[in-house]
Amino acid sequence: MDQPGHTDPRPGSTPQPRPEIETHLIKDVKSLKRRVCEEATTAVGMLESALAALWELDTATAREVADRDERIDREEVAIEEAAFRIMTLQQPVAREFRALAFVLKVNSDIERVGDHASTVAKTAIKLAQAAPPGFNWPTALLELGQRVPMACHALLRALLDEDPDAAKSIVVGDKAIDRLTRELFDETVKFMETFPKAHAAGLLIYRIGRELERVGDLMTNIAEDIVYLTTGEIIRHEKKRLRAELNSRE
């Protein structure tokens, strides 16, 4: 009688998978994906807190946000080590291997989101000292401060649901963020003309816009990885086709 978990040694028989090993592997991969989702939620929360501190020039809150970056750094390393351990010890193939490749790529991008959130917080501290009295935030920066967190939350939903269509919408939606970054440059020039003794503040304001633009780029990268994870399709450099595809559905 065949023993559970062993293949049939008879000639011509089809080797049977060992379900206890496959189940253990799938469980480990799912656990790692959950950790990535939690890490992403933490990074997005950091960004939102950094922006809240920025608008109020709240240096105490900004310092707290900047200090939280170390937690993201530690978790990135722990997730990477866990992924390599699974690859080494369990030798995944097919979908599980693709999922681990996804975890490694997304893990790195999420850590960078935390870095950008920390930079926004640190820049808010500098702006609290450099900003001239009576200044108004550039309209483009305010809109970036709304659109980028919205894109982050849309990405989190697509990540949790493993929704390739939602991910594709995020990929084509970064055009608006690029446009706002260009508009912010012009508004920053006008700001520096209005406050000629506050050029340092103008440069800091523009830097925040660039940090937000980079977060938008990272959301696009992760969205592309979600499409690859769920469909096996590589959509980098395919934005024009994706726009046409999504427009045809409307």
Among the listed residues 19, 37, 32, 5, the one whose alpha carbon sits nearest the alpha carbon of residue 110: 37
Least-confidence region, from 194-198, 226-230, 240-244: 240-244
pLDDT digits (tens, 9 = 90+) for 153-177: 999 999 999 999 999 999 888 888 9
Q: Which pLDDT belongs to residue 9?
A: 46
Kindly compute the dihedral angle of the four CA atoms of residues 65, 66, 70, 72, in this order, to the nearest 10 degrees: 50
Q: Which pLDDT belongs to residue 51?
A: 98
Token reading at 149: 């967190």
pLDDT at residue 144 greater than cutoff 80: yes
Least-confidence region, from 19-23, 163-167, 198-202, 243-247: 19-23
Give residue 223's Cα distance to chain centre.
8
pLDDT digits (tens, 9 = 90+) for 99-118: 999 999 999 999 999 999 99
Token reading at 6: 């062993």
Q: Are 62 and 122 in contact (CB under 8 A)?
A: yes
Looking at domain 19-249, what is its CATH homologous superfamily? Phosphate transport system protein phou homolog 2; domain 2 (1.20.58.220)
Q: Domain extents for the chain?
A: 19-249
pTM: 0.85
Separation CA 32–CA 28 (nearest Å): 6
Of the two residues 138 and 15, the one the predictor is more confident about is 138
Give residue 118's Cα distance to chain centre.
14
